[in-house]
A and B are shown apart, each in its own frame.
Chain A
Amino acid sequence: MPENAVKYTEAELVAFLKQRQQSAFGYLYDNYSSSLYSVILSIIADRELANDVLQEVFVKIWRQIETYDASKGRLFTWMMNITRNASIETLRSKGYQNSQQNRELTDTVYESVGSVSTNTDNIGLKKLVYTLKPDYKVLVELAYFQGYTQDEISKLLDIPLGTVKTRLRAALIQLREIVKP
């Protein structure tokens, strides 16, 4: 991918995207596809499926750019949330569940054969989450990377909802300290 000589500020980029400029979309893709792809891969290990999700994510961003409100946060935060939601939606879809079941079977048979899935534990945010203490790690994993609600987590881990809330908040504060520059 050639480096772009043109550099847009976030505000310019959003403005040009809202004007439906192809060049702006190309710029958006060139600058953000890798990091959004990493977000997807931290949730969906299957590369092929992740490719599909990435395409859907960019279509969503393109179609929903009108709804982006800069006063509520950064463009990247907005895109990252779209990406995470789309990935979790896919993760929860029936088709994905079925494909996973099939894969588990074939994987046990052909374990040595190179798999198309990625070891997601080393990617971006996930790598950091995995440095959290185990109590926190499991909560962030379930809430952020697998999309469970706090209510569901409370039932799943048999922990009171209040504890889930406080622990998750504490985990995120710790995470904030880790990601701080």
Chain B
Amino acid sequence: MDIKAYIESGVIESYVLGLASPDEVSELEALSIQHGEVRAAIDAFAESIQRQAMGANIAPPPEIKQQLMERLAGDFKDTAAAAVAPPKLSALPGGTANGKVVRMVSFKLWRNVAAAAVILLVVSAALNVYYYKNYAQTTSKYQALLAERNTLQAANDNYHQTLNIIHDSVMQIVRMPGVPGKQNNMATVYWDTKTRDVYVYANNLQQAPAGKQYQLWALVDGKPVDAGVISDCKGICKMKNIGRAQAFAITLENEGGSPSPTLTAMYVLGKV
């Protein structure tokens, strides 16, 4: 083989630039071992190309190096300490590896920043759990308060209504004190002189026993007229409409009320 012609064929350049076919590559690699001048031609062209490429200096953005260092951080075998004492070199020109130390320091800094970030993340996660628990507790307390408030509001509305009825100027008030033997009982009838509606308020009536209910009676010309049973309304209870009456009384009757009063179970009585 004419080595000189081979070298001049352009195959060397194809090889260096990565344009040679696999066959050309294996042939050339074999020849470069046998012939020093083939190897020398490869090196010469490669050097020229390298010089050309090195001359074209377009600096990549600095963050790429940082990203690479972070990405490969797990691969590196030398620690920061090893880098401070750089690997022993056959020919170390004067001066220290300042650039490298600076870079290692900045790497350490980033590592510390990363560690701090992890710690902050953990703390933040713990706080999340803590605050979530607090939030859940507060929510259930709030719900309980809301329910309580609604109950109170309803009671309050009831009292307002009661007050309105009591203070209505057309309202005739009939006090019903306890009858002898039941003196500690007390109830009041509010009688609308226009509509003749009757309301009753139990100022002091003991809780009706199970199966029993208080019943209001209007005494009209000596005869008792049913004015309705007192259900467990809060505050003031609206009773039946009574056209006229001389007195009102309350007796304790079986649940649902009786057609006629049980006079032995009379609690309060008041004259109009």
Contact = CB atoms under 8 A, between A and B. Distances in A.
Contact of B83 (A22, A144, A180): A22
A37 B72 contact: no
A73 B50 contact: no
B59 A37 contact: yes
Contacts of B87: 16, 21, 23-24
A41 B60 CA distance: 10
Contacts of A9: 90
Interface stretch (B61-69, B137-145, B208-216): B61-69
A125 interface: yes
B10 interface: yes
A72 B86 CA distance: 29
B59 A22 contact: no
A35 B60 CA distance: 9
Given A2-B98, A7-B93, A176-B45, A39 B53 contact: yes
Interface in A1-58: 1-9, 12, 16, 19-27, 29-30, 33-39, 41, 50-51, 54-55, 58
A102 interface: no
Contacts, number: 187
Nearest to A37: B60
A76 interface: yes
Contacts of A24: 87
Given A5-B97, A54-B64, A181 B48 contact: yes
Interface residues of B, number: 65
Interface in A97-144: 118, 123-125, 127-128, 143-144
B72 A76 contact: no
B4 interface: no
A63 to B, nearest CB: 8
B11 interface: yes
A172 B52 contact: no
Nearest to B32: A72
Nearest to A27: B100
A34 B60 contact: yes
Nearest to B53: A35
